[in-house]
Chain A
Amino acid sequence: MLECAELYFNVDHGYLEGLVRGCKASLLTQQDYINLAQCETLEDLKIHLQTTDYGNFLANQTNPLTVSKIDTEMRKRLCREFDYFRNNSLEPLSTFFTYMTCSYMIDNVILLMNGALQKKSVKEILVKCHPLGRFTEMEAVNIAETPSDLFNAILVETPLAPFFQDCMSENTLDELNIELLRNKLYKSYLEAFYKFCKNHGDVTAEVMCPILEFEADRRAFIITFNSFGTELSKEDRETLYPTIGKLYPEGLRLLAQAEDFDQMKRVADHYGVYKPLFEAVGGSGGKTLEDVFYEHEVQINVLAFNRQFHYGVFYAYVKLKEQEMRNIVWIAECISQRHRTKINSYIPIL
Chain B
Amino acid sequence: MGSLFRSETMCLAQLFLQSGTAYECLSALGEKGLVQFRDLNQNISSFQRKFVGEVKRCEELERILVYLVQEINRADIPLPEGETSPPAPPLKQVLEMQEQLQKLEVELREVTKNKEKLRKNLLELIEYTHMLRVTKTFVKRNVEFEPTYEEFPPLENDSLLDYSCMQRLGAKLGFVSGLIHQGKVEAFEKMLWRVCKGYTIVTYAELDESLEDPETGEVIKWYVFLISFWGEQIGHKVKKICDCYHCHVYPYPHTAEEREEIQEGLNTRIQDLYTVLHKTEDYLRQVLCKAAESVYTRVIQVKKMKAIYHMLNMCSIDVTNKCLIAEVWCPEADLHELRRALEEGSRESGATIPSFMNVIPTKETPPTLIRTNKFTEGFQNIVDAYGVGSYREVNPALFTIITFPFLFAVMFGDFGHGFVMFLFALLLVLNEDHPRLNQSQEIMRMFFNGRYILLLMGLFSVYTGLIYNDCFSKSVNLFGSGWNVSAMFSSSHSPTEHKKMVLWNDSTVRHSRVLQLDPSVPGVFRGPYPLGIDPIWNLATNRLTFLNSFKMKMSVILGIIHMTFGVILGIFNHLHFRKKFNIYLVSIPELLFMLCIFGYLIFMIVYKWLVFSAETSRVAPSILIEFINMFLFPATETNGLYTGQEHVQRVLLAVTALSVPVLFLGKPLFLLWLHNGRSCFGVSRSGYTLVRKDSEEEVSLLGSQDIEEGHNQMEDGCREMTCEEFNFGEILMTQVIHSIEYCLGCISNTASYLRLWALSLAHAQLSDVLWAMLMRVGLRVDTAFGVLLLLPVIALFAVLTIFILLIMEGLSAFLHAIRLHWVEFQNKFYVGAGTKFVPFSFRLLSSKFNTNDSVE
Binding partners A and B: yes
Residue of B nearest to A31 (CB): B45
Mark the stretch among A84-92, A153-161, A174-182, A219-227 that contacts chain B: A153-161
The distance from the CB of A49 to the nearest CB of chain B, in whole angstroms, is 10
The contact of B194 among A39, A47, A48, A156, by CB within 8 Å, is: A156
- Verify if A114 is at the interface (C-beta below 8 Å from B): no
Q: Are A59 and B63 in contact (CB under 8 A)?
A: yes
Q: Are B187 and A136 in contact (CB under 8 A)?
A: yes
Most buried by B among A59, A122, A143: A143
Given A43-B56, A60-B63, A122-B243, decide whether A137 and B191 contact each other with a Cβ distance below 8 A. Answer: yes
The distance from the CB of B711 to the nearest CB of chain A, in whole angstroms, is 38
A interface residues, tally (CB under 8 Å): 23
The distance from the CB of B126 to the nearest CB of chain A, in whole angstroms, is 25
In the complex, what distance in Å separates the CA atom of A18 from the CA atom of B582? Answer: 49
The contact of A51 among B46, B63, B195, B245, by CB within 8 Å, is: B46
Most buried by A among B47, B59, B195, B243: B47
- Verify if A140 is at the interface (C-beta below 8 Å from B): yes
- Verify if A344 is at the interface (C-beta below 8 Å from B): no
Given A48-B45, A153-B195, decide whether A142 and B190 contact each other with a Cβ distance below 8 A. Answer: no
In the complex, what distance in Å separates the CA atom of A137 from the CA atom of B190? Answer: 11
Most buried by B among A38, A51, A122, A153: A153
The contact of B47 among A48, A152, A153, by CB within 8 Å, is: A48
In the complex, what distance in Å separates the CA atom of A142 from the CA atom of B854? Answer: 40
- Verify if B517 is at the interface (C-beta below 8 Å from A): no
Q: Are B52 and A154 in contact (CB under 8 A)?
A: no
Q: Are A140 and B194 in contact (CB under 8 A)?
A: no
Q: Are B46 and A136 in contact (CB under 8 A)?
A: no
- Verify if B241 is at the interface (C-beta below 8 Å from A): yes
Given A136-B244, A139-B243, A143-B241, decide whether A39 and B187 contact each other with a Cβ distance below 8 A. Answer: no
In the complex, what distance in Å separates the CA atom of A152 from the CA atom of B195? Answer: 8
Within 8 A of A (CB), among B700-749: none
A152 surroundings in chain B (CB, below 8 A): 194
Q: Are B191 and A47 in contact (CB under 8 A)?
A: no
The distance from the CB of A61 to the nearest CB of chain B, in whole angstroms, is 9
Q: Are B45 and A154 in contact (CB under 8 A)?
A: no
The distance from the CB of A7 to the nearest CB of chain B, in whole angstroms, is 33
Report B193-229 CB contacts with A as 1/0, cut-off 8 Å. Answer: 0110000000000000000000000000000000000
- Verify if A72 is at the interface (C-beta below 8 Å from B): no
The distance from the CB of B487 to the nearest CB of chain A, in whole angstroms, is 70
Within 8 A of B (CB), among A299-324: none
Within 8 A of A (CB), among B470-516: none
The distance from the CB of B664 to the nearest CB of chain A, in whole angstroms, is 45
- Verify if B278 is at the interface (C-beta below 8 Å from A): no
B244 surroundings in chain A (CB, below 8 A): 136-140
The distance from the CB of A129 to the nearest CB of chain B, in whole angstroms, is 13
The distance from the CB of B43 to the nearest CB of chain A, in whole angstroms, is 11
Within 8 A of B (CB), among A34-64: 35, 38-39, 43-44, 47-48, 51, 59-60
The distance from the CB of B819 to the nearest CB of chain A, in whole angstroms, is 30
Q: Are B190 and A143 in contact (CB under 8 A)?
A: no
Q: Are B45 and A35 in contact (CB under 8 A)?
A: yes
- Verify if B184 is at the interface (C-beta below 8 Å from A): yes
Report A110-150 CB contacts with B as 1/0, cut-off 8 Å. Answer: 00000000000010000000000000111110110000000
The distance from the CB of A108 to the nearest CB of chain B, in whole angstroms, is 13
In the complex, what distance in Å separates the CA atom of A314 from the CA atom of B854? Answer: 29
Q: Are A143 and B47 in contact (CB under 8 A)?
A: no
Report A217-257 CB contacts with B as 1/0, cut-off 8 Å. Answer: 00000000000000000000000000000000000000000
A51 surroundings in chain B (CB, below 8 A): 46
The distance from the CB of A89 to the nearest CB of chain B, in whole angstroms, is 22
Residue of A nearest to B184 (CB): A136
In the complex, what distance in Å separates the CA atom of A51 from the CA atom of B52? Answer: 14
Q: Are A39 and B47 in contact (CB under 8 A)?
A: yes
B854 surroundings in chain A (CB, below 8 A): 59
B48 surroundings in chain A (CB, below 8 A): 38
Report B421-439 CB contacts with A as 1/0, cut-off 8 Å. Answer: 0000000000000000000
A39 surroundings in chain B (CB, below 8 A): 47
- Verify if B576 is at the interface (C-beta below 8 Å from A): no
Report A6-36 CB contacts with B as 1/0, cut-off 8 Å. Answer: 0000000000000000000000000000010
Most buried by B among A35, A39, A48, A140: A140
Residue of B nearest to A62 (CB): B63
The distance from the CB of B275 to the nearest CB of chain A, in whole angstroms, is 32
The contact of A157 among B45, B47, B190, B195, by CB within 8 Å, is: B190
- Verify if B237 is at the interface (C-beta below 8 Å from A): yes
- Verify if B240 is at the interface (C-beta below 8 Å from A): yes
Given A153-B194, A157-B190, decide whether A47 and B46 contact each other with a Cβ distance below 8 A. Answer: yes
The contact of A154 among B46, B191, B243, by CB within 8 Å, is: B191
A139 surroundings in chain B (CB, below 8 A): 240, 243-244
Most buried by A among B45, B240, B243, B854: B45
In the complex, what distance in Å separates the CA atom of A38 from the CA atom of B241? Answer: 49
Q: Are A157 and B187 in contact (CB under 8 A)?
A: yes
Within 8 A of A (CB), among B238-267: 240-241, 243-245
The distance from the CB of B393 to the nearest CB of chain A, in whole angstroms, is 35
B52 surroundings in chain A (CB, below 8 A): 47
A44 surroundings in chain B (CB, below 8 A): 47
In the complex, what distance in Å separates the CA atom of A51 from the CA atom of B49? Answer: 14
Residue of A nearest to B194 (CB): A153
Within 8 A of A (CB), among B424-460: none
In the complex, what distance in Å separates the CA atom of A154 from the CA atom of B194? Answer: 8
In the complex, what distance in Å separates the CA atom of A153 from the CA atom of B194? Answer: 5
A35 surroundings in chain B (CB, below 8 A): 45
In the complex, what distance in Å separates the CA atom of A210 from the CA atom of B237? Answer: 44
Given A38-B45, A154-B195, decide whether A143 and B63 contact each other with a Cβ distance below 8 A. Answer: no
In the complex, what distance in Å separates the CA atom of A60 from the CA atom of B190? Answer: 40
A48 surroundings in chain B (CB, below 8 A): 45-47
Residue of B nearest to A142 (CB): B240
In the complex, what distance in Å separates the CA atom of A271 from the CA atom of B195? Answer: 48
Residue of B nearest to A32 (CB): B45
In the complex, what distance in Å separates the CA atom of A109 from the CA atom of B653? Answer: 90
A43 surroundings in chain B (CB, below 8 A): 56
Within 8 A of A (CB), among B554-583: none
Besides the known contacts A139-B243, A140-B191, A153-B194, 5 further A-B residue pairs in the complex with CB atoms under 8 A apart: A38-B45, A39-B47, A47-B52, A140-B195, A153-B191
What are 6 residue pairs bridging A and B, where the CB atoms are less than 8 Å apart in the complex?
Answer: A48-B45, A59-B63, A138-B244, A140-B191, A140-B195, A157-B190
Task: Report the 3 A-B pairs with minimum CB-CB distance, sorted nearest first.
Answer: A140-B244, A139-B244, A44-B47
